[in-house]
Amino acid sequence: MEWFEELYGNTGIKIRVREKMVDFHSRYQHIQVFDTYDFGKMLVLDGKIQLTERDEPFYHEMLVHVPMFSHPSPKKVLIVGGGDGGSLREVLKHDVDDVVVVELDEEVVRVSREFIGIDRGAFDDPRVTLLIEDGIEFVRNAGERFDVMIVDGTDPNPYSEHIISEEFYKMCRKISEIFATQSQSPFVQQDYFSTMLRNISRVMDVRVYVNFVPTYPLGLWSYMLHSPSFPDLEELRRRFEERKVEVVHYNPELHVASFALPEWLKMVVEKALKG
């Protein structure tokens, strides 16, 4: 019997695995893929679970559809990170014309497509441009604007630190109308969450929203959204019906409810903004 364990502080998660399918170090990180009993294929980077087939829609749908449905008609989208293809798959469910994916590690793309396949062919869509380069360099040199920009970054590591910097967010604000990023667990990774919130809030107004992803640290996950407007439930329902997006997890009611924060998290947000 083989088990995978991910620890965060004095707690963690333990998942029984059938087989270790991939295990090697790329130029940037340790990449592993496991076949698990209860969660399907599982992608792990530097010992941290990035996704499982069973609950990845919980994460990707909320990261993508909250900003996408916040825009009345998104046509041009930028994804920084997201080499597994889950965010790209969800973006393409909208009537977009052009999607640029900027991923640092081409091995993540290759392994995800070959051994997991949650992109479901999204990388082959003619509307998609995949660039293997540093996201901050792309944003710094971008000569174009995007309706929606989504940052689907990895867990904190030396290669991801610069994409939570004030400098990065300042450049993002210049090229995107609506901006969304995942922001880790505000419960287990509170320092990292607070640093992200402080840096981004110096550049643009954001609202925090939360969601449940069972295989992420203790299940609670957060995101941050900058948008010039926040559609009400009636408008979200209209857009949802009009675009006919097929989903596993997201719906307009959950979209609205995800911005209702518990009192303890309101206090974490308030403290971070004062820091």
Residue 1: band (very low, low, confident or very high) from pLDDT cuts 50, 70, 90: low
Q: Residue 214: is its pLDDT beyond 70?
A: yes
| Active site (annotated) includes residue 152 | yes
**Whether residue 184 sits in one domain with residue 68:** yes
> Which among 55, 147, 152, 155 is annotated as catalytic?
152
**Whether residue 63 sits in one domain with residue 47:** no
What six digits make up the tokens of 56?
Answer: 């990845």
Range of the domain at 73: 56-274
**Whether residue 88 sits in one domain with residue 223:** yes
Q: Residue 159: is its pLDDT beyond 80?
A: no
pLDDT for res 185? 97
- d(Cα 177, Cα 179) in Å, to the nearest integer? 7
Taking residues 71-84, report their average pLDDT.
98
Task: Could you list the residues known to form a binding site, using ranges.
Answer: 29, 60, 84, 103, 134-135
24: CATH:
2.30.140.10
Statement: the pTM of the whole predicted model exceeds 0.85: yes
**Whether residue 249 sits in one domain with residue 125:** yes
**Read out DSSP for 75-141?**
-EEEEEE-TTSHHHHHHTTS--SEEEEEES-HHHHHHIIIII-TTTTGGG-TTEEEEES-HHHHHHH
| Tokens 């992608």, located at residue | 43
Give the strand pairing for 41-45 and 30-36.
Answer: antiparallel
| Helical axes 263-274 vs 190-201, angle rounded to 10° | 50
Closest CA to 128 of 156, 161, 92, 94: 92
**Whether residue 227 sits in one domain with residue 103:** yes
- 97-152 residue pLDDT tens: 999 999 999 999 999 999 999 999 999 999 999 999 999 999 999 999 999 999 99
Task: Could you list the residues known to form a binding site for S-methyl-5'-thioadenosine, using ranges.
Answer: 29, 103, 134-135
Count structural domains, the chain.
2
